[in-house]
Structure 1
Amino acid sequence: MVEDEAELKRLMVQGLGGDAHAWRTLLTAVRRPLEDYFRRRMAGHADIEDLVQETLLAIHAKRATFDPRQPFGPWCYAVARYKMIDHLRREGRRPTAPLEDAGDVAGPSTTEDGVMRRDLRRLLARLPLRQRQLIEDTRLAGYSMAEAAERRGVTEGAAKVSVHRGLKVVSEEVQRDAD
């Protein structure tokens, strides 16, 4: 499995240059991270595989828009994000901004990514332990609400309420810090 940003970028550039093997390797390498990305954001949603396929097709179709001077991961996830938004709009749902920017193909590629993760940990640390664990399970680790509830020994309804209230507190903290 290719997980290094530099390697993914190299494969992308080689694929753009006509190297079919590099292109297949790249698309294979990003499949699993894309599945994880969608699973974290759309836990319990049945269309995750469809979203992965749509994203892979879009990466292929939009490959000419990739700037080789830029990192591959953010470009890849921008394509995935737009595919997810399109999907949610077709369903009549409005996406919300996630708390985390988790899911970089190659992990943190900038200092800014590390700072964001640190800030997220600090925000979540303000919450009671169970609430924090349920948010981490459902929003960061990709567990469904039912799975997270079972892991933490609470009912699914209690887990939903706890996650909702915790995210509300975090949202208010972010808003307060922004003001």
Structure 2
Amino acid sequence: MRASEDQLRAMMIGGLAGDARAYRDLLDILAPLLRAFFGRRLRDAAEDVEDLVQETLIAIHTRRATYDTSRPFTAWAYAVARYKMVDHFRRRRVTVPIEGLEDILVAEGFEEAVSARMDIDSLLNTLPPKQARAIRETKVDGLSVAEAADRHAMSDSDVKISVHRGLKSLAARLGLS
């Protein structure tokens, strides 16, 4: 069944009001729309489309109270879908260690990158190891706070505090505060 924005919005509002039939119909209509949405964007990862559809339907269900009934429903639903897709890409991030990167960069004329890396290393070495590690992993290596916390059996808050205190200390050292 194809539904208009007004019909989808009415089903969502009905579902929020307790109409189980309207809500079930909404989810049934959303599933193929989401399959098409993800299918267009993940052509080389078709096996992930159904997982993303299910994750998005669950997210829509668990976050349905955040839907502003005065706003278009499809924009809200597709925003949830986009966030799920971004999370999917973050989980699939692949890193490849390159041994001797500095030598390669110098040979290719990127001495500034090597120099910047050495500057970062020397600055981070002035901090307590916990703060330096938290800054390196979250700000330099690109890990999320949760990933850095998991890596060292720390809480997310502990990582955030370590990053904040370390950056504050570096700013004071460099006369930026």
Report the TM-score when normalising by structure 2. 0.51
Cα distance, 1:3 vs structure 2: 1.9
Unpaired runs of 5+ residues, structure 2, are 95-177
Distance 1:2 1:19 in 2: 20
Q: Name the residue aligned to 1:87.
A: 88
| Residues 10-33 of structure 1: CA deviation (Å, up to 9, x unaligned) | 000000001110000000001111
| Distance in 2 (alpha carbons) for counterparts of 1:15 and 1:3 | 16
Residue correspondence of structure 1 range 91-130 to structure 2 within 5 A: 91-92=92-93
Cα separation, 1, equivalents of 2:33 and 2:61: 16
* 1:138 corresponds to: none
Q: Structure 1 length normalisation: TM-score? A: 0.51
Matched ranges for 1:27-176 at <5 A: 27-45=27-45, 46-92=47-93
Runs of 4+ in structure 1 off by over 2 angstroms are none
Unpaired stretches in structure 1, ≥5 consecutive residues:
94-179
> CA RMSD for the aligned pairs?
0.9
- Report which of the two structures shows the higher radius of gyration computed on alpha carbons: 2
Q: Distance in 2 between matches of 1:22 and 1:80?
A: 21
Aligned length: 93
Distance 1:60 1:74 in 2: 15
TM-aligned CA deviation for residue 2 of structure 1: 3.5
Percentage identity across paired residues of the two chains: 52
- The structural deviation recorded for 1:44 is 2.5
